[in-house]
Structure 1
Amino acid sequence: MGADNLTDTLTRQTENSPRELLVRTFFFVCAFVSILTTAGIVFVLVSEAATFFTGTAQFLGVTGETVSLVDFLTGTTFSIAGDQFGVLPLLSGTLAIVIGSAVIALPLGVATAIYLSEYASPRVRAYLKPALEILAGVPTVIYGFFAIEYITPLLKQYLFPDIGFFNALSASIVVGIMIIPMVSSISEDAMSAVPDELRQAGYGMGATKFDVSTGIVVPAAISGIVSSFILAISRAIGETMAVAIAAGATPRLWTTGSVDAGPVSLPYPDPAYFLESIQPMTGAMVQLLFSDITGGGLAYRSLFGIGITLFAITLFMNIVSNWIASRYQEAYD
């Protein structure tokens, strides 16, 4: 007990020294500034978006035209010239980009993570993982130009002769390439955290490398893998310059077709939507910001209406990701 008391005394003296107090104060200020900045962004976004919607705008005493929240969330037309600000066409564009990029990034990212964690030698992993993460450091505007200069011409020449110069498919491909490092890196970290004892137990039962990787390691790391999926999808939802360049600026709803299945007709999303010019929410915000709109006018304030919608979606996705990580995370002693 004497040694413990001496240790506690020395610890308290160290923590109360001027140097430690200065360091603690510095880190506290950094944390406080980060929280204050986040709170300021949220406050400005919410307060400006509130003036765009009818009920809150009247409450705040804002004069001029406003758009009701119901019309905004259910409107099927987005047109600056016509003062129509329905967000559904923009949500359709964002959904198309998310689905297209997820189809590309999620399987490739998990397969890459399995190779890095289970198959690659330490030397190969030391070179391959940093090289893969370079993709995350490429400016997104470069991806946009890459899509319209290379991907779209290749698709037009070999697969889809009727594809437009601006189209959702090329944008989905480049966004999928962009988020592969996020999926692979987080998934690989989750797989590497699985204890080797589980792998050795599988090998002791006669399992192959593939069986151990897919039947033991992946299920044990599923919380981290799913979290990487959600974070990557959130990244795809918020991507701006690549989709603004490659996807175009034509707000349009994702139409559906139907197939006869006995007595009923089953609707399905029209895949031709990916061959046309669309406009996701981030692309609409770029167009609004750089168009000839009056500061403080209805079109200008619609920026914040779209922004708060985008913020709510990404915040929800991150909350779900954190919940899944905490709910299904495996604990190993």
Structure 2
Amino acid sequence: MASNRPAPGAPFIPAQRSDDTVVYGGPRTDEGPWEEWNPSAETVRPVRGRHRVAKQRGGLARGGLARSSTVLGVGVIAAVGAGGMATAQTGKPPVAISLPDLPTFTDDADAEEPAAEPETAPLSGIGVTPADTGQGTTDAGEALRARIMAQAESQQDQVDTKAAQAVLAAAEKKATAAAEKAEREAREKAAAEKKKAEEEAARKAEEERLAKLAKQFALPTSSYTLTSTFGQAGSLWSSGYHTGTDFAAPTGTLIKAVHSGTITSAGWDGSYGYKTVLTLDDGTEVWYAHQSSISVSVGQKVTTGEVIGRVGATGNVTGAHLHLEVHTSSGGGIDPLAWLRDKGLNP
């Protein structure tokens, strides 16, 4: 702040005034003497703040009141008169007077930075009772609680919905699996029943066929015992194995035609002894060997069950029996027992 330089000293000169003159703020006879004062940097402290105004102080002027050069005091001035003292009027309410901030013009190099603007004050709470504040807090808490509960219920609903969908999907899957299983079992049962019915029908058809054949075919002899079977190996046979089936029976037991046909051979045949060959209509040949006697001749037609000879022990034998062989039209030998069973017989 700029300051006034000290003024040069001056000799004190008493004021030449009449003693009978009274001036407000003027020299008094009971005070003094004073000397003139000039402000300086050492005597005037700078005012710091947002706005600073350089103040000047002057001495008492003659015949008047010393005032500030920047701010005028506002108020009720009690004037002192010659006959008494005037007072300020009472009974009226005081009026608030605000003064605008005045700009500061200074050349201080070390002036402080302006103070920061104060933060905006919150809205006034005048007229708001603690009950209102509590009610507002309660309403806000209830609203927050309601939102939290709504969100929780929404999440729970989503979880319940997903769980219900999962249960429904599992139930549908289980129902579908059960339906597929039931349908599969029904198909399998129907197929089994169909197969069983078909097998039963086939069995009945075969029985009927065999029954018809049985009426057309007959066993070669009676009162017999099966001793040697087809394909049985042993040294008793020149080929190394048995080529037919042996029906052991007493000598003289009747031998019958197994089916209708023609006698194509009848007589002695070496190790077979007396042998008769019956040729069927399909070309199958039935050989009867080791007979004790022959009752038919070549070219003779015979029917099923007709007697063609008797059981004997001729040829290469160890006892009385009928050696029966069956040959197909191509000449190969087959199992006589299987062939007889195929014709509906039970040897």
When normalised by structure 2's length, the TM-score is 0.20
Q: Which has the higher helix share?
A: 1
Larger Rg: 2
Q: Which has the higher strand share?
A: 2
Bigger RCO of structures 1 and 2 (CA < 8 A, at least 6 apart): 1
When normalised by structure 1's length, the TM-score is 0.21
